[in-house]
Amino acid sequence: MTQSFLGFLGKISFARIVVLGFAVAIGIGSLILFLTEGGSLRYVDALFLSASALCVTGLSPVPVSDLSHGTHWVLLVLIQLGGLGIISVTVVIGFLVKQGLSRNTKFHKFVTTVIDQEDSGKNDLDGSHILRILRAVVSISFFLEALGALVFYFKFPIGVEGFGSRVFLCVFTSISAFNNAGFSLLSDASFLKESPASLYLVSILVILGGIGFPVIILMEKWLLTLLYQFTNKVEVAAETVLLHLIVKGKLGKLAEKWLEKPAELSYRLLNRIEDYNVHLYGESNLVQTKIILSGTAFLLTFGTLGIFFYEYNNFGTLQTMDFWDKVANSFFLSVCSRTAGFSTIDLGQMMDPSIVLITMLMFIGGGPQGTAGGIKLTTFALLFAYIRNVIKPANNVTVFGGTISKNSLAIAIRVYFLGTIMLAGLFLILVSIDPEKHGLQRSFFELISAFSTVGYSLGLTSELHDIEKLGYTCIMLGGRVGIFTMLIAFTGHSGVPKIGEEDNDIKIQLG
């Protein structure tokens, strides 16, 4: 039975395994949530909440603060599993892209081509590299979440936890922020609006989680380099002591063993750093990292300035705050609009231009190898580069001096048009089945938020009917695994023919 099941998995595409895995996880999570609430939570709400947690969206049909402490723990686990699962899947897809494969590659071919060197010949990356990078992602994720929780404990305003545990509030917020889930035990993040330090700290965690895998690995490489430099100095000092003891004839086996440890550690660190340099920082990785970093900086600046000026004199949002609180809250909303969904103010009180701006940021999203949603920064950047090439024609589309693969461009264009067409169709369906006429603005905003797995709402989520909740559950799943992955899962192919005899230019991960 087990062998036949594994054989079945080996014959289906990687894309279908991803979609199936998330769907099954959502189903299991919904049952656990339903049981932990002892029947007080309707199953359709449990299903919606499970999808929102595992897809790290943050939308909830019921106030999270009204749920039991046991349910909060379940949500915490689902958010963590969802975030790590997304990062792991996108890391593997990144390797598929670099190896010239795709998401419609059969799973057994992926295993033999990327992991099994004996069956596939020479590879740039083997299983040990993939597992090591996944371990690095997991370990750094846990480290940042733990560090965030510790800092929150000392920086969060006193008394905001009410009768609950301050430790659990800080841990929950840290995990929710890093995984870009946007869930808050207090239903929203308004308790932070007059604490700029807390807002910036939460924003940093959100950015690190949403910016993606390249920056996480950059962080590990940076930490390893610092540790190597320190260990190198210790190694020199240990060798000096070792020579001194040899000359004096006082070198014992135990002393020799411990004095050789710095040299061994230094050697291992150097090998690991060189391994990253060889395998992870080729032209493709460098260009993608530059796109994500520069794109993030631009969108954060654009969003912060836009929200700040539109809402500066709005009594319902920023007007009553002092200048630096206005800056902090504008920055926080700009950060969370692209990824997390935390909000310190009532979005329903915001000016229409601000709502349009937030909708744009939600649609773009963050990095493709992180927990952010949307069409992804890389897709947006390649579309922008392509339009620039149309206005000012050139033989090739280039970004940061690198020539972009024609297939990467073709996928970027398809992701954008598939996304807009799908959203238009879903919007039509949702407003057609809406018996209460929620309003076009609120319905469209909620749709983009669910598709981009952001979690912002203009108060519509609690008003949804059961059929709408099921629809939004599917939208969150589709937005989480990606339009392109969904297309391949349902059709069995990507719809992108091979362009040209060779396509050895820079391949960028999209969607």
Q: Please state, in angstroms and rounded to a whole number, the distance separating the CA atoms of residues 330 and 200.
A: 11
Q: Indicate the pLDDT class of residue 495, thresholds 50, 70 and 90.
A: low
In a domain? residue 138? no
State how far the Cα of 373 lies from the Cα of 139, in Å rounded to an integer.
Answer: 23
Q: Is 188 among the domain residues?
A: no
pLDDT digits (tens, 9 = 90+) for 338-365: 888 888 888 989 999 999 999 999 999 8
Q: Residue 64: inside a domain, yes or no?
A: no
Q: Token digits for 294?
A: 């520069």
Does 262 reside within a domain? no
The dihedral through the CA atoms of 20, 24, 27, 33 has a sign that is negative
Query: Is residue 108 pLDDT above 50, yes or no?
Result: no
For the cut 90, the answer to whether the pLDDT of residue 408 exceeds it is no
Count CB neighbours of 296 within 10 A: 22
Q: What is the pTM of this model?
A: 0.82
Count of domains observed in the chain? 1
CA of residue 228 relative to chain centroid, distance:
29
Task: Give the residue numbers spanning the domain of 341.
Answer: 284-491
> Does residue 152 belong to any structural domain of this protein?
no
Does the structure show a pLDDT above 90 at 112? no
pLDDT of residue 376: 87
Task: Report helix, strand or coil for 256.
Answer: helix
Going by the DSSP 8-state scheme, the letter that residue 497 receives in this structure is -
In a domain, 84, yes or no: no
- Is residue 418 in a domain? yes
Residue 23 inside a domain? The answer is no
